[in-house]
Amino acid sequence: MERVYQFAAGPAVMPQQALRRAAEEMLNWRGSGLSVMEMSHRSPAYQEIFDHTVSLLRDLMNIPEDYEVLLLQGGATGQFAAVPMNLLHTSADYVDSGNFAHVSMKEAQKYGAVRCIASSREENYRRVPAVDAAALDPKADYLYVTTNNTIYGTRLPALPESGNVPIVADMSSNILSEPCDVRRYGVIFAGAQKNIGPAGLTVVIVRRDLLGRARPETPNILNWTVMTEKGSMLNTPPTYAIYMAGLCLEWLRDEGGVEAIYQRNLRKAKLLYDYLDESRLFRPIAEKSSRSIMNVTFRTGSDALDAAFVKGAAAAGLLSLKGHRVAGGMRASIYNAMPEEGVKKLVDFMHKFEKNTVEA
């Protein structure tokens, strides 16, 4: 069967180079006689895989040596609790810019004083709210931001200046898609199933001076200090997901790294947004100032037409374009591994659908 173009928000499209390599090595990883799935996580062979994945991530993101890189489980949702458990003692400031930002804020409120310093919730998250520097608490334990809103298709246009307050960022849906100065953050975390690899792996990048602050009740599995001391292996890590992440990171390196993929991502997003801005049928949802280059949301204004479009697109080999259940409409997730050809095919299909609908 011919490969289709998968526009799902996650688990998402993966590089074919990585998938082919995994298929070749499925039964026998580099002459070991074992599949990676069968390896002990304590074996030298698997430690080599683990270290290689961490090394690739460090190189691609230019992660400084005074930051730890943890490869964990539990998804970004697990880190919604881990962040306050590891850092919250006095208060924390949150920017409510989307569904997952809101959920993370609610989770943190279980553990201490949390302030919402900016929100676009009443506007259905069509934009990322501006953060007034005067609203920030200079004594807060941390400032929490979500750099890309997967559901509503918005992106944090600029990182707030926080002074000495460490910034914690959920980068699940745009990590590695554009250059990032890691030094501007205290903590970065991301679920892997969008731009890093398959579901099951969570990356946490934490500045070392923020370790050792966990609340007494923090479970070991969520305690960054414990996981650092154990080399991310307090328990059995998601071994195969880490291996696959390494293969995907190798692909990104071979494609020219983050800067090169960022230029490609800009071209893909421009192609789709340019069409949407001129369309007589489709209209983009996110405000221009906040538009994501990873998740493009749009609709026709008719639920019936939206459904017909999604069905027709699937028949044409363009899958998973239905919007999230809380947002409706359509969403095209065009992560790193989505080729430009896929976006071109989507725009061509939209042109045809619009012509047939408007002229009918």
Q: Where are the domains of the chain?
A: 5-13+257-358, 16-254
109 Cβ partners below 8 Å, 6+ apart?
A: none
At residue 139, the pLDDT reads 97
At residue 2, the pLDDT reads 83
Closest CA to 54 of 255, 253, 242: 242
Question: What CATH code would you report for 16-254?
Answer: 3.40.640.10
Q: Count CB atoms within 10 A of the CB of residue 38.
A: 13
**Amino acid sitting at position 76:** A
At residue 1, the pLDDT reads 59
The tokens describing 227, both together, are: 């996981």
Name the CATH superfamily for 5-13+257-358.
Aspartate Aminotransferase, domain 1 (3.90.1150.10)
Q: Give pLDDT tens digits along the chain (360 positions).
A: 589 999 999 999 999 999 999 999 999 999 999 999 999 999 999 999 999 999 999 999 999 999 999 999 999 999 999 999 999 999 999 999 999 999 999 999 999 999 999 999 999 999 999 999 899 999 999 999 999 999 999 999 999 999 999 999 999 999 999 999 999 999 999 999 999 999 999 999 999 999 999 999 999 999 999 999 999 999 999 999 999 999 999 999 999 999 999 999 999 999 999 999 999 999 999 999 999 999 999 999 999 999 999 999 999 999 999 999 989 999 999 999 999 999 999 999 999 999 999 876
Q: Is the pTM of this model over 0.95?
A: yes
